Structure 1
Amino acid sequence: MIPIALDPRFARLAVAGNGPLALRRFRALRAVGAADAILFSDAPADDAVIAAGGSLRRALPEAADLAALHALWIVDLPRGRAETLANAARDARVLVNVEDVPQFCDFHSVAEVRRGDLLLTISTNGRAPGLSSLIRRDLEQKYGPEWQERVAEIGALRADWQREGVAMPEAAQRIAAIVAERAWL
């Protein structure tokens, strides 16, 4: 697997599924900025209808729908339907994640800790999601809410240094000095 951080403003994302886990994945995508994410569900629960609003499609994606996507999470569908949909998505050159079925996944969703612009991720390549969750909880304790402000402060300093023409290695040294001086790590 190749770890990347994907800006949802530049990718067309969707979730296909009928249960609470599909709605949870859809909400998670929306929470990180995927404002245009779509929820495909051929049997949506009332809470999915409310949460997805105009982004709900009351069917599973067909070829034309898939052709417009970059990535698709398939959640809460029976294995046979999930496999058929995953294969159709791949035929359309869409990256696919079938939740909890690693052999059908082109990518894996990571466990994450977010503190403003700080994003810490954990992956076991889909092999041990429970372990990823435990590590995530540990990181949540070690990197508390104060890290949001720390990242913002360093980001502002870095922007100033860039305007001043400070080279990247020098900026890295300055950041390391601040972190050491304040005993952040």
Structure 2
Amino acid sequence: MGYIPIFFDVTGRECVVVGGGEVAARKVESLLEAGAHVIVVSPRLSPPMREIVADGRVTHLARGYQRGDIAGCLLVYAATDNPKSHRELAAEARALGIPINVVDMPELCAFIAPAVVKRGALQIAISTGGASPAFAARLRRELEDQFGTEYTLTLEVLRAARRRLHADEIDPAERMRRLTDLANSALPDAIAVGDAAAIERILATHLGDGVSLATLGLAPAEFSH
């Protein structure tokens, strides 16, 4: 099997999760966090899934999977204890051209779900090609220690800087140079220790005199410890 990494924009799109257990609940939470409209198909729900359904965050079909349930959706997760249902669901997904992930059955998957480290807009996806999800989880834990919460704020600054330079209609080559230099600067280190003065110096150096957290539309207090 060969895989390429890809990120789906699921905002406002319909995604189906077949299954009501804890694994299915984790898939649902990830989809909801990304802004998807989620349909859950399952006659039984685990406590985490019951809470999600009770909050009205998903559409719940309180029965087993039936052919046609996934028509028109963007992607599907199958997480039940019924291999026969998984095979039928995978066959329908293939016929409809809908990507499907079947938990613990990589031979039926059109895509596999990576372990993910998330820090705001930053997402680091880890895959072992289905060889060992447990090892992918280990690597995720190691990367979570390496990439702290400062990367959330770093990406907020970089996004704001990019917007500012586009609005100023800077020459594209010069804009790229400034943004590249800022991305390669000590900005994450300054944010990690809450050194607001150093952050401001970095911004002025790479974006120009007068550019600051405030002029980028960011609250300086969020960057000070």
Normalised TM-score (structure 1)? 0.87
Q: Indicate how the Cα distance of structure 1 residues 60 and 70 shifts in structure 2: closer, same or farther if over 3 A, else same.
A: farther
| Aligned residue type for 1:87 | A
**Structure 2 match to 1:12:** 14
**Secondary structure at 2:4's aligned position in 1?**
coil
Aligned length: 184
CA contact (8 A) 2:126 2:140 kept: yes
CA contact (8 A) 2:12 2:35 kept: no
Larger radius of gyration: 2
CA contact (8 A) 1:73 1:98 kept: yes
Task: Give the Cα–Cα distance (whole angstroms) in 2 for the partners of residues 127 and 65 of structure 1.
Answer: 30
CA contact (8 A) 2:158 2:179 kept: yes
1:62 aligns with 2:66: yes
Q: Indicate how the Cα distance of structure 1 residues 165 and 60 shifts in structure 2: closer, same or farther if over 3 A, else same.
A: farther
Identity of aligned residues (%): 26
CA contact (8 A) 2:65 2:85 kept: no
Q: Structure 2: give runs of 5+ residues left out of the alignment.
A: 190-225
Task: Give the Cα–Cα distance (whole angstroms) in 2 for the partners of residues 184 and 169 of structure 1.
Answer: 24
Aligned with residue 22 of structure 1, among 17, 21, 24:
24
Q: Indicate how the Cα distance of structure 1 residues 170 and 100 shifts in structure 2: closer, same or farther if over 3 A, else same.
A: farther
**Secondary structure at 2:111's aligned position in 1?**
coil
1:152 aligns with 2:156: yes
**Structure 2 match to 1:48:** 49
Moved more, 144-153 or 50-59: 50-59
Q: Indicate how the Cα distance of structure 1 residues 169 and 130 shifts in structure 2: closer, same or farther if over 3 A, else same.
A: farther
Task: Give the Cα–Cα distance (whole angstroms) in 2 for the partners of residues 19 and 100 of structure 1.
Answer: 14
Over residues 76-119 of structure 1, what are the superposed CA-to-partner deviations in whole Å (9 max), with x where a residue is unaligned?
Answer: 32222211221122222221100111100000111111111111
Task: Give the Cα–Cα distance (whole angstroms) in 1 for the partners of residues 14 and 75 of structure 2.
Answer: 7
Q: Indicate how the Cα distance of structure 1 residues 167 and 124 shifts in structure 2: closer, same or farther if over 3 A, else same.
A: farther
Aligned with residue 5 of structure 2, among 3, 6, 15:
3
CA contact (8 A) 1:18 1:77 kept: no
1:106 aligns with 2:107: no
Q: Indicate how the Cα distance of structure 1 residues 168 and 123 shifts in structure 2: closer, same or farther if over 3 A, else same.
A: farther
Task: Give the Cα–Cα distance (whole angstroms) in 2 for the partners of residues 68 and 61 of structure 1.
Answer: 15
Offset of 1:167 from its aligned partner? 4.8
What does 1:66-145 align with in structure 2 at a 5 Å threshold? Answer: 66-145=70-149
Offset of 1:183 from its aligned partner? 6.2
Task: Give the Cα–Cα distance (whole angstroms) in 2 for the partners of residues 61 and 169 of structure 1.
Answer: 53
Q: Structure 1: give runs of 5+ residues left out of the alignment.
A: none
CA contact (8 A) 2:78 2:102 kept: yes
**Structure 2 match to 1:31:** 33
Offset of 1:32 from its aligned partner? 2.7
**Secondary structure at 1:151's aligned position in 2?**
helix
Task: Give the Cα–Cα distance (whole angstroms) in 2 for the partners of residues 159 and 183 of structure 1.
Answer: 18
Offset of 1:28 from its aligned partner? 2.3
**Secondary structure at 1:141's aligned position in 2?**
helix
More helix by share: 1
Q: Indicate how the Cα distance of structure 1 residues 13 and 32 shifts in structure 2: closer, same or farther if over 3 A, else same.
A: same
CA contact (8 A) 2:93 2:99 kept: yes
